[in-house]
Structure 1
Amino acid sequence: MVVRTSDVDKNFFTPRDYQVELLDKACKRNIIVPLGTGSGKTFIAVLLIKEYTTKLVTPWKNGGKRAFFLVDKVSLVEQQAAHIEHHTTLNVGKMHGHLNQDIWSEPAKFDTFIALHEVTVLTAQIFLDLLDHGFFNMSNAAVIIFDECHHVLGSKHPYRLIMHRYGQLTEVDRPRILGLTASLISSKIPPSNLEHLLEKLERIMHSSIETASDLVCISKYGAKPREYVIMCHDFFCCTCEISKKVISTLESLRTFCLKCTEFHPEFDVDPRKPVLEAVSRTKSVLEQLGPWCAWKLCQVIWVK
Structure 2
Amino acid sequence: MSATRLAALLWIGTAVTGCSPPKAPTAPALAQPEAPPSAAPDLDGSNLDSTSVRNPNDGSLLGGVPLPLEAPGLRFNPARDPAARFGTVEVVRALVAAAARVDRELGGLPITINDLSLESGGPIPRHRSHQSGRDVDTLFYQLGPDGEPIESVGAFFDPSGRGVDFRDLADPDDDVALTLDIPRTWLFLRALIEGELAQLQNIYVAEHIRTLLLAHARAVGAPAATIRRFEALTCQPSYPHDDHFHFRFFCTPDDIAKGCRDSQPVYPWQQQRLANAGVRPLPLAKKRKEASSMIVTHAEARQSAGALDAEVERWLDRREEWIKKPHPGRPYCP
Q: Is TM more than 0.5 here?
A: no
Question: TM-score, normalised on structure 2?
Answer: 0.29
Question: TM-score, normalised on structure 1?
Answer: 0.31
- Which structure shows the higher strand fraction? 2
- Which structure shows the higher helix fraction? 1
Q: Look at both structures and tell me which one has the larger radius of gyration over its CA atoms.
A: 1
